[in-house]
Amino acid sequence: MNDIEVVDLGLISYEDALAKQQFYAEKVKTEHPFRAYLLLCEHNHVYTLGKHGHENNLLVNSDFLKSIGASYYKIDRGGDITYHGPGQLVVYPILNLNNWNIGIKKYIDGIEECIIRLVAKYGINAGRLHGATGVWIGNAKICAIGVKVLHFITFHGLALNVNTDLKYFSYINPCGFTDKQVCSISSLTHKNIDIDTVKKQFTEEFTQIFIPNKA
């Protein structure tokens, strides 16, 4: 039977989070093939570029990155460049899609639906944008999604802007777009949002969507 285990990593470096993903992927592979591990965390300032991304979407040089305390990684997920930092909820769901009887499109659609339902709790009417992954409010992205699947096991995941300092997105073309904006729950509600509450809300929505009879 499929089940979910939540692992709250707190504020963690991007490099350490990559190692955690590998660790829990091995547990799915060898110990708990029908379990989904939800790794919840925040990162220190970091920019990540997907395997098909373009480096010219990073608009500043390495010296500038050092001056703002940000690191930069080229990684093996889909998508282009994005930013992670404090106040942003990053979730890495680690599960075997085959054992959950879902394909990659249904998986991404499910994650998007989790976020759409979650932000609705804050009075935000979000949706999808044709030709682009993630969750949007009009022309502004509130949640980025980039995944990798290896031997049916998922890596990477999503980044939801909760109380994110949005100025850090001005140093990139977010997700490769030059004509789109970014937003956060905080910027839309004009309130400081408790990220621990958002973690619980995401877990509830994920459970309801992927294990509906357990919610």
Would you please indicate which residues are annotated as catalytic (active-site) residues? 175
CB atoms within 10 A of CB 103: 12
Please give the structure tokens belonging to residue 44.
């220190």
Torsion over CA: 33, 24, 54, 58 (sign):
positive
Tokens encoding 142: 């509130």
Phi, psi for residue 156 in degrees, rounded to 5: 60, -160
Q: How far is residue 40's CA from residue 17's CA, in Å, rounded to a whole number? A: 10
Quick check: 163 and 140 in contact, CB under 8 A? no
Q: Look at the alpha carbons of 122, 124, 125, 131 in this order and tell me if their dihedral is positive or negative.
A: negative
Element holding 120 (H helix, E strand): helix 104-120
Determine the distance from the C-alpha atom of residue 40 to the mean position of all C-alpha atoms in its chain, rounded to a whole number.
Answer: 9
Report the candidate in 10, 20, 71 with the shortest Cα–Cα distance to residue 42.
10
